[in-house]
Amino acid sequence: MSEEYRTERDSMGEIRVPADRYWGAQTERSRRNFPIGNGREPMPEEIIGAFAVLKEAAARANRALQPGKMTEEKCGTICLAAEEIRAGKLRKHFPLVVWQTGSGTQSNMNVNEVIANRGNEIAGKKLLHPNDDVNMSQSSNDTFPAAMHIAAATALEENVLPALEELTGTMRRLEKENEGILKCGRTHLQDATPIRFSQEISGWRASLEKDAEMIRAAGLPLRELALGGTAVGTGLNAPEGFDALSAEKTAELTGIPFVTAGNKFHALTSRDEMVFAHGALKALACDLMKIANDVRWLASGPRLGLGEITIPENEPGSSIMPGKVNPTQCEQVTMVAAQVIGNDVTVGMAASQGNFELNVFMPVCAYNFLQSARLLAESMRSFNERCAGGIRANREKMAENVRSSLMLVTALNPIIGYEKAAKTAQKAYREGISLKEACTALGYLTAEEFDAGFHPENMA
């Protein structure tokens, strides 16, 4: 036997495992059987961390409910090893990829084996068994969906919502700073009636606020945990009260009010809560796409575009055109939004594959959900810091565009009627003259009457 390996055993026999790793036989078999993605798509760290939370919560619940089996020493040792995982100290001991069994069984066992072997090292003796102790009262079929909910709810609470609030706060500030600035409105990418820049920003701000409301609402169902359903939802081999108590302990560890799922048969086979919550993330992605596109259109130029706002210049924009600067933060937001919208399809397809008593697309569902949450949070923080916070109105350009807009003719509708107003706009456009010149030339109003009834500033 090479000193670089040790022999581990499971129900299928012996297998060699790297000597400096805490994982065991079942993890090693999965590592060898799923060489997909070349290790570039590992099980998300958020899932591993969530497993560490639920293993500690389960140990504490078992200690309270069946102290003869879960001794104080075993419980304490499991908790110590789980806390090391949560702190990120044992990341190299979790080698498995997303593309494995659809129940995530081997990732559950990976956590069980690491906690058992690290715990035995801490105890200085053979104290813990991965199945009998670390996995006590559990099954992969209820732990993986529970880990998904813990990870997803935590991602929303600790990452997405705080980043969203930061960006919303910037929009509130910009809205106040730009009150009273009149600009041209646009619909269908064509000139429309005037709007105040603060009103335009208020639309962005309100969209983000609505997104936050929807994410909070969609996060509530994620607080229900499947833990306690064990293999098929019946709770086989789990003591009475384990489901509620383990959820209570999970809530204590995370600060999020998790509860046990009311129907474990639903909790094991349905991923509708993940679909619902990811739908809220998709809604946020859609609004971010719209806001980022508005910003880059308004900042387009600097001479031949709209040029109504300026945004921070962060880096050179071309390897051949000197002095070119591009709206790169807007571009990263729109690419992230496209990824999230695509992820929503995968989450939905994965959730539809609940065959009988178990969904077997859980790893890919979790992977896409957590990627969306992570990307959105990071994207919003970058956009806020490097673009949105530095938006400045080009008042002169906005005023010039308002003066040039033919849609100001809408103010004349109550005075001369729609048909005459339309002819006025058409004449002004064809002949390159002002609305006042066109209106008086057509004989609809005198110059004095036009001035008396034409006040663009009142149109907003």
CB contact set of 394 (below 8 Å; sequence gap of 6+): 307, 308, 309, 310
Structure tokens at 179: 């009150």
Specify whether 318 is catalytic.
yes
CA 299 to chain CA centroid, Å, is 27
The Cα–Cα gap between 377 and 164 comes to 7
* Nearest partner of 42 among 53, 57, 54, 27, judged by Cα: 27
Residue reference for tokens 């990263």: 332
What residues contact residue 278 under an 8 Å CB cut-off, 6+ apart? 343, 344, 347, 348, 368, 369, 372
Query: Considering 318, 352, 404, 455, which one is annotated as catalytic?
Result: 318
**Cα–Cα distance between 133 and 331 in angstroms, integer?**
50
3-state secondary structure 185-216: EEECCEEEEEEEHHHHHHHHHHHHHHHHHHHH
Estimate to the nearest angstrom the gap between the alpha carbon of 231 and the chain centroid: 30
Question: Which of 93, 107, 140, 188 is flagged as catalytic?
Answer: 188
Provide the 3-class DSSP secondary structure of residue 13: strand
- Please name the residue ranges forming H helices in 352-456: 362-386, 395-404, 413-416, 418-431, 435-441, 447-453
Q: Which residues are catalytic?
A: 188, 318
